[in-house]
């Protein structure tokens, strides 16, 4: 059966006190509405409809890669009103699944359980039992246990308020019936809104089977109305991801102090120390060790590499058995071959570092192609920028560069060459040549030191 999936994202979210649409606030580094769209996209035969209103242009721009049908709800009058705006786009022989842009942790497995029960005469409702159901619509059942209605908190009687089973708002309804139910909705309630939940009573009246499915946990159906709830879901997601990483063979020295803001893939026997942040897509090979306070973004790290504390790696590729840090920064475009070493307070950018090469301390290597077994002394920099354009430095295999050297690009250092410490290199150095490029030392006797005025 074709699935129309409607994601409601038109609310103002005034309690967020933000210049941005509520559904664009991030959980795990990804906008809430994008998380919902990603999960919905995993369902077969899915037609996505995104209902926007307040700051809808922001939401549409951030979600355009999903190719969802954008439906505007400029004057929101409830969830039923939102579905009525989508009604002209629904497939006649399909079913409609309603989701929420501020309920980001809903799982594909739960939605698949719902769709498995769907047919032309069945409405599937996602419910959960809560110890404290305050604020939720209550699930009303008859003597046989069949669902007959959903009553909102403000409209519930004392006996109905005592019901623990509540509505999550997520339901899957057959379109052949849904169209008529939406047209029949009334707003004669405490809020003066059109409630989508009113279709439950209509379904019971029309003899449509109403079946319920439960989520795996409460967090899966928790919504976000303010930043406190946003922070709670962030911690829940991070806990879920920490558990997954450990189940996949990674050791987290403190599972409560790791942040995965994207996707982290780990091989066996990875060790991650405290306060590490992973953004975008990060892949760690087997046996990788990461020290405390590291930040990795959109990078791959080969097997058995050690990344020491306070290291930043972004948009880079790191080979096997490398040694990086502490306090190193690999900027976008860095590629380290196997067994390369980047030491403390070294920065690289668009740098290809060959196998076994070492940049040990206090250096900047940018726009550089470096061969194998190169040794770069402390304080060396590649002068790659002339104020207008960037230029490349090329260093061949087995080059030794003395401390405090400046390589003024464009320049080429050929195989086996040696650069004397303190040199400023402005032209090519040939194979196995020794290059001195510094002024001759002059000593003056009886030099009067400056005195403080």
Query: What does each of the 453 residues of the chain score in pLDDT, given as a tens digit?
Result: 679 999 999 988 899 999 999 999 999 999 999 999 999 999 998 999 999 999 999 999 999 999 999 999 988 899 999 999 999 999 988 999 999 999 999 999 999 999 999 999 999 999 999 999 998 999 999 999 999 999 988 889 999 999 999 999 999 999 999 999 999 999 988 788 998 989 999 999 999 999 999 999 999 999 999 999 999 999 999 999 999 999 999 999 999 999 999 999 999 999 999 999 999 999 999 999 999 999 999 999 999 999 999 999 999 999 999 999 999 999 999 999 999 999 999 999 999 999 999 999 999 999 999 999 999 999 999 999 999 999 999 999 999 999 999 999 999 999 999 999 999 999 999 999 999 998 887 888 898 877 887
All domains of the chain in start order, with CATH: 3-221 (3.90.550.10), 227-435 (2.160.10.10)
Give the model's pLDDT for residue 272.
98
Residues 8/51, Cβ–Cβ less than 8 Å: yes
Query: How far from 407 is each of 70, 332, 386, 424, CA to CA, in Å?
Result: 54, 21, 12, 6
The response to whether 384 counts as a known ligand-binding position is: yes
Residues 167/139, Cβ–Cβ less than 8 Å: yes
d(CA 282, CA 305) in angstroms, rounded, equals 14
Give the model's pLDDT for residue 76.
85
Give the model's pLDDT for residue 140.
94
Give the model's pLDDT for residue 449.
79
As annotated, the active-site residues are 361
Alpha helices in 148-304 (DSSP H): 158-161, 175-183, 198-205, 227-247
How is residue 321 written in tokens? 């058995």
Give the model's pLDDT for residue 205.
94
Give the model's pLDDT for residue 1.
67
The response to whether 331 counts as a known ligand-binding position is: yes
Neighbours of 361 (CB within 10 A): 18
User: End-to-end CA distance of the chain, in Å?
Assistant: 89
CA atoms lying within 13 Å on the CB side of residue 258: 27
DSSP 309: S
Compute φ and ψ for 161, nearest 5 degrees.
-65, -20
Q: Which helix (H) or strand (E) holds 56?
A: helix 56-62
pTM reported for the whole predicted model: 0.90
d(CA 164, CA 185) in angstroms, rounded, equals 26
d(CA 170, CA 123) in angstroms, rounded, equals 11
The response to whether 78 counts as a known ligand-binding position is: yes
Cα of 176 vs its chain's centroid, Å: 38
The response to whether 137 counts as a known ligand-binding position is: yes
Three-state secondary structure call for residue 67 = coil
Query: How far from 114 is each of 8, 145, 175, 229, 453, CA to CA, in Å?
Result: 18, 19, 15, 26, 84
């Amino acid at each position: 059966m074709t699935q129309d999936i409607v994601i409601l994202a038109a609310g103002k979210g005034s309690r967020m006190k933000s210049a941005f649409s509520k559904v664009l606030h991030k959980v795990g580094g990804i906008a809430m509405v994008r998380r919902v769209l990603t999960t919905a996209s995993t369902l077969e035969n899915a037609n996505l409809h995104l209902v926007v209103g307040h700051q809808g242009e922001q939401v549409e721009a951030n979600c355009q890669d999903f190719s969802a049908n954008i439906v505007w709800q400029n004057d929101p009058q409830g969830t039923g009103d939102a579905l009525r705006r989508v009604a002209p786009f629904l497939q006649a022989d399909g079913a409609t699944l309603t989701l929420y842009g501020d309920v980001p942790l809903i799982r594909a497995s739960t939605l698949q359980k719902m769709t498995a029960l769907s047919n032309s005469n069945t409405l599937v409702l996602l419910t959960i039992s809560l110890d404290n159901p305050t604020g939720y619509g209550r699930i009303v059942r008859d003597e046989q246990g069949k669902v007959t209605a959903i009553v909102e908190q403000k409209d519930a009687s004392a006996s109905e308020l005592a019901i623990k089973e509540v509505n999550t708002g997520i339901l899957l309804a057959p379109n052949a019936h849904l169209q008529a139910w939406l047209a029949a909705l009334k707003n004669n309630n405490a809020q003066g809104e059109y409630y989508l939940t009113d279709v439950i009573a209509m379904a019971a009246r029309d003899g449509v089977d109403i079946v319920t499915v439960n989520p795996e946990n409460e967090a899966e159906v928790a919504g976000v109305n303010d930043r406190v709830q946003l922070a709670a879901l962030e911690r829940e997601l991070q806990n879920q991801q920490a558990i997954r990483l450990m189940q996949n063979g990674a050791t987290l020295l403190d599972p409560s102090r790791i942040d995965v803001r994207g996707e982290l893939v780990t091989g066996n026997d990875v060790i991650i120390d405290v306060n590490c942040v992973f953004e975008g897509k990060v892949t760690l090979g087997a046996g990788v060790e990461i020290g405390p306070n590291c930040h990795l973004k959109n990078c791959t790290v080969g097997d058995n590499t050690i990344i020491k504390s306070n290291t930043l790696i972004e948009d880079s590729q790191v080979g096997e058995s490398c040694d990086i840090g502490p306090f190193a920064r690999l900027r976008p475009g860095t590629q380290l071959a196997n067994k390369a070493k980047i030491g403390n307070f070294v920065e690289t950018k668009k740098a290809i570092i060959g196998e076994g090469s070492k940049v040990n301390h206090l250096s900047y290597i940018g726009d550089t192609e470096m061969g194998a077994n190169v040794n770069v002394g402390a304080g060396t920099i590649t002068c790659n920028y002339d104020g207008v354009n960037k230029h490349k430095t090329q260093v061949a295999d087995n080059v030794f560069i003395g401390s405090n050297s400046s390589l003024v690009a464009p320049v080429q250092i050929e195989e086996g060459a040696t650069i004397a410490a303190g040199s400023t290199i402005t032209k090519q150095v040939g194979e196995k040549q020794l290059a001195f490029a510094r002024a001759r030392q002059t000593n003056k006797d009886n030099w009067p030191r400056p005195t403080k005025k």
